[in-house]
A and B are shown apart, each in its own frame.
Chain A
């Protein structure tokens, strides 16, 4: 463990994919930091490397080179098991396509990340209901995802992301599938979670979303511009 000065520190990050015989440099020599309780937008056009960067920050994608420190933990020096614990403790993921399980109710979907926490069912249900209320879906806890609108499904995805009280929320295009009014509501919700103490990193290509963030990191051609 190295003592870091920021909640997230990225040093000399490189990531390349092989697409057939072609080597695609998704991320080139990135360096930046994110402080605790910041609301960051990672903004850039499609294919600029922002989703790759988000998956690296979430401990899901090994970089070819460079270091990622989160809470002083050298993320890719951890064992796979420690990194799984890291994701469970630190990260709440929100996906563009919601990734809800269609045959589980809202309550069951939100309870799912607590399956391995060893808590009692009653406590898990109570915690899940608290966050479902927090995202404004208290009256729809027993509905299935297909009985909800897109915005509501995104709220469920956010509730699921915050139920384990992670310090860091990583959202990949959370408003990409939503109309502008619903997108605005979701950004306001993420903003209020940030006010509650969560550090929020949102990947987006929508410049309007920058207004909700405390800082914007621009990503273009695998490079970042802070």
Chain B
């Protein structure tokens, strides 16, 4: 049969190194780099997202001086304020923790609600929300450890 150079082109290219056998070093290096980057992303992206979404949040911790329990109507009113994320008075009953976005609401707007209801309230602390959460978590851990 007459010789057709196209017939064995694939083999010829392998011999001449035009067509690579298996995976080249560059491909393997790229795959390994991608795996490492993905691993790092999985570890860091949720933390970064969490930071980005909570960096404007502050916790204001108030203590009720003039009554024994926080009126439900007051807590409901505070929760309706624009910029207030949540309220929590479950941990230490005489205290109320208001989580708010400092870009949208000032602490004076919250204290104005207490004044309107004729309650004597002391601002105990004003702290970054994440920092406060970390402190609470640490306290819980300390309590669990004998």
Chain A residues proximal to chain B, CB less than 8 Å = 1, 3-7, 35-38, 71-73, 78, 82, 85-86, 89-90, 118, 167
Contact = CB atoms under 8 A, between A and B. Distances in A.
Given A89-B11, A167-B8, A1 B16 contact: yes
A73 B2 contact: no
B3 A5 contact: yes
Interface in B83-132: none
Contact of A7 (B3, B14, B15, B17): B3
B11 to A, nearest CB: 4
A82 B21 contact: no
B5 interface: yes
Contact of B14 (A1, A4, A6, A85): A85
A36 B3 contact: yes
Contact of A72 (B1, B5, B14): B5
Interface string B1-33: 111110110011011110001100000000000
Contacts of B15: 73, 78, 82, 85-86, 89-90
A35 B3 contact: yes
Interface of B: 1-5, 7-8, 11-12, 14-17, 21-22
Nearest to A118: B22
Contact of B2 (A1, A35, A78): A35
Contacts of A90: 8, 11, 15
Contact of A118 (B7, B16, B21): B21
A167 B7 CA distance: 10
9 contacts: A1-B12, A1-B16, A35-B1, A37-B1, A82-B17, A85-B14, A89-B14, A90-B8, A118-B21
Contacts of A72: 5, 12
Nearest to A166: B11
Contacts of B2: 35-36
B11 A4 contact: no
Contacts of A89: 11, 14-15
A80 B46 CA distance: 53
Given A1-B16, A118-B22, A71 B11 contact: yes
A119 to B, nearest CB: 10
A120 B1 CA distance: 34
Nearest to A5: B3
Contacts of A82: 15-17
A37 B5 CA distance: 13
A194 to B, nearest CB: 11
Contacts of B5: 3-4, 71-72
A7 B3 CA distance: 5
Contacts of B16: 1, 73, 82
A74 to B, nearest CB: 11
